[in-house]
Structure 1
Amino acid sequence: MNPIYSSMNRRQQGVSLPGLLTWSVIIILVAILGMRLVPVYIEFAAIKRALVTIASDSELHNAGVHEIRQAFNKRAAVDAIKSVNGNDIVIRKQDGQLVLDINYTVTKPLFANLSLLIDFDAASDR
């Protein structure tokens, strides 16, 4: 046999079936994790954006607690925010500025009895 061909055969490598299955499982698990987490973080961004918008609204600067909560509920309905509502908001004034805080937890099932527990803390001033 020609020595060039035999050395080329020894150097040629590919993905074995166990390697392919292992990488497939890893890629599928990462995809499932991403599909569960991305919507939760998109909703968090919408909540944060709503808090900042309401806190910077000059019409609501001197409004009562009820009006501020109602404004959040209206914005939540438009932005499809389901995890929290206006009653979950902590409203305070700091240095003459309206500051809105909200703390909440989201539990997302992965599969079987395994779930993700994610704690969020959003505020209009950070």
Structure 2
Amino acid sequence: MLYRSIEKQKGVSLPRLLVWSGILVFISILGMKLIPAYIEYASIKKTLTSITNDSNLQNATVNEIRQSFNKRAQIDNINVINGRDIKISQKDGRRILTVNYFVKIPLAANISLYLDFDTANSSGY
């Protein structure tokens, strides 16, 4: 009779609890390290979009566009790139702003993640 009641008991053993806790901690740490890089990427995309849609920069020179990006990047706390990293080209009467960069995120000791970001925006001018 005692054997049957023990057999019906369900639960999590200590080793299983430790494994799941370790997995949860690893995923949490990974998320805390990755999310800021993706937030900064979204800020860069937003800044490029606002520059391409700005009517005051319709006939701006390359240096004026880069200065505008630097000012907006300072406001948005973008530290990964600056105006010199923007490639500006023309195609079919449209101005195209392109940014390629990577972010190295150290995890532990000699283990790091490399995130490669690439974005482009074109204006309708």
What is the CA distance between 1:96 and its match in structure 2?
Answer: 2.0
| Counterparts of 1:98 and 1:53, CA distance in 2 | 13
What is the CA distance between 1:97 and its match in structure 2?
Answer: 2.1
1:42 aligns with 2:39: yes
Q: How does 1:1-126 map to 2 (within 5 A)?
A: 1=1, 7-125=4-122
Report the aligned-residue RMSD.
1.3
Per the alignment, in what secondary structure is the counterpart of residue 63 of structure 1? Answer: coil
Per the alignment, in what secondary structure is the counterpart of residue 101 of structure 2? Answer: strand
| Counterparts of 2:85 and 2:34, CA distance in 1 | 22
Instruction: Tell me the number of residue pairs that the alignment of Structure 1 and Structure 2 aligns.
Output: 122
Per the alignment, in what secondary structure is the counterpart of residue 59 of structure 2? Answer: coil
- Cα deviation, 1:6-39, whole Å, max 9, x if unaligned, reads 5443122111010000001100000010000000
| Counterparts of 1:8 and 1:99, CA distance in 2 | 71
TM-score (normalizing by structure 2): 0.92
What is the CA distance between 1:94 and its match in structure 2?
Answer: 2.4
- Cα deviation, 1:47-92, whole Å, max 9, x if unaligned, reads 0000011011111121000000000000000000000000000011
